[in-house]
Structure 1
């Protein structure tokens, strides 16, 4: 008699519809469904994106992360939760609601799933710090503390700057005028980058072996700007000139980097995105550029973490993704869309 296959976990994926800030929830839901994991997808709107998730096999729940009754209902009966929240107002409220919903998830019986929530994966930020000059990064550090204050084990994934972030900031000007513009930066200054798909791959890997990561300090990259106590995901370091070269290759035209004043950058980005980027995200991005500049000027660029820590991590290749989605691949996909 063949040994019985281990039961695959059930996962509540928030942000499952995807959005313009990386779409980690959407990519993770698709990855989990492909390997036969039961996915409950929490979405804000029952639209064509929700319909495609249903068609792929997900249970779709419509709800708001800022409404306790919605999240509590969605969390009932699943094994794990992937929590992600866009750069906008409400992060601390949503984190608290998610932590409470996870704590209370086992109080009501559900016929088809486990009776308690075993763990949470929190999609945080590389620069999350209680002393961060960015209110958003400060709130992410508080969000991590909220999750850690509850009994449900939580793994915090701290991703670097998303590729989608740069395509949103630079895509239109690169295509229209052949330049990319950023405040504070010099041409040789490097930016730590990660693809949203790589963060989703990391979350998938953690779900396969959650107990190996819960509550443990295992960084893959380090910087003086970051407290080394979470999983920090960085796949590339590119200078501003190298980023411009990637746009050149993608658009098959010469694209150059050009410094710009913070005020002009703010206005240009707000105009080029049609006001779709909220003021909280705009202010955060502006501060983020100063943090990256400071890291470069102080000579504290991201470097490999301690070898003994990297070697100790199970499935290191899976966490960093065996073939990280490079910025080139991201841009080529955008250019051909």
Structure 2
């Protein structure tokens, strides 16, 4: 029997649920999956029903990481936006090196460098370096803001108030976005490719879209008036913490919003071009933002009622 692929964050969480999408995609291709989950629940049981091997563990517990990695053929590493990334990276790199892993797909953020604008992005850069030093054949997916993240933020006010309340400046602000599903399709393509060039990075942008276009898309799909209310960073931080966001995520996102406001992104800038890799490696054109909103409009309308 073929050795399974280890997929971390496989149950799906607050971000783009790439681990869950990837698990389902690999299983559909008859590729065995070992799903690394934080706890056994309905989400992990649904994966088990699809044929995944479920392993409960903790990124920060080296013994559970070693047990999860042993006997696998490749690793998808996607650590949630919370404290502990570098500890988790080190544990995974050690376990993978011990197990002889030669293919690891590492999910990080679009800008990953020592001078990136958020603390999480700077940690992502260090995480990349650890995997490189471990000589695991690592490649790095650098994904921009997920549609799913934007939707999670907007759902806090749009259904009940008909307004998007975020600290994004004017409606001319442009955001680079991507569907979590598209990121997972690229990861699946990399996992199943005949060979990879270690150290390669894959910047993934599915669309660059203005806040004005985002508002218009919600209004068009939902068939209701939608407005935008610009709020301060401090107000957004208070609301996010009250809704259960962890401090690490709040600091990352607050820094990201400031960076996006100040960047004055030009959609024609090649740095923000739609990634060819989404179709070339993932096998389909990137999902549009409108398609994403339409797919979930039943949930939006139910909450708006």
Residue by residue, what CA displacement relative to the aligned partner does 1:99-146 show, whole Å, maximum 9, x if unpaired? Answer: 1110001xxxxxxxxxx3221000100022211231111111111111
| 2:47 paired with 1:57 | no
Provide the TM-score with structure 2 as the length reference: 0.91
Alignment check: 8 A CA contact 1:42 1:60 kept: yes
- Corresponding residue to 2:80 among 64, 86, 102: 86
- Corresponding residue to 1:265 among 232, 236, 258: 236
Residue 12 of structure 2 aligns to a residue whose secondary structure is coil
Distance 1:210 1:131 in 2: 34
Distance 1:316 1:175 in 2: 31
Alignment check: 8 A CA contact 1:24 1:196 kept: yes
Distance 1:324 1:42 in 2: 27
Partner of 1:176: 160
Change (3 A) 1:320 1:189: farther
Change (3 A) 1:210 1:128: farther
Distance 2:278 2:178 in 1: 16
Change (3 A) 1:93 1:323: same
| 2:30 paired with 1:36 | yes
Partner of 2:262: 294
Alignment check: 8 A CA contact 1:201 1:318 kept: no
Residue by residue, what CA displacement relative to the aligned partner does 1:175-217 show, whole Å, maximum 9, x if unpaired? Answer: 111211222522112100001111100101111216234323x
Partner of 2:179: 195
Distance 1:87 1:301 in 2: 29
Partner of 1:303: 270
Change (3 A) 1:136 1:304: closer
Shift of 1:301: 6.5
Alignment check: 8 A CA contact 1:11 1:39 kept: yes
Change (3 A) 1:210 1:127: farther
Q: Which runs of 5+ in 2 are unaligned?
A: 300-305
Residue by residue, what CA displacement relative to the aligned partner does 1:205-242 show, whole Å, maximum 9, x if unpaired? Answer: 111216234323xxxxxxxxxxxxx2100011110111
Shift of 1:302: 4.5
Alignment check: 8 A CA contact 2:114 2:125 kept: yes
Q: Which runs of 5+ in 1 are unaligned?
A: 1-6, 106-115, 217-229
Within 5 Å, give how 1:40-189 maps onto structure 2. 40-105=34-99, 116-189=100-173
Provide the TM-score with structure 1 as the length reference: 0.82
Number of residue pairs matched by the alignment: 298
- Corresponding residue to 1:239 among 187, 210, 214: 210
Moved over 4 A (4+): 299-302
Shift of 1:330: 2.4
Alignment check: 8 A CA contact 2:137 2:197 kept: no
Distance 2:168 2:278 in 1: 34
**Highest Rg: 1 or 2?**
1
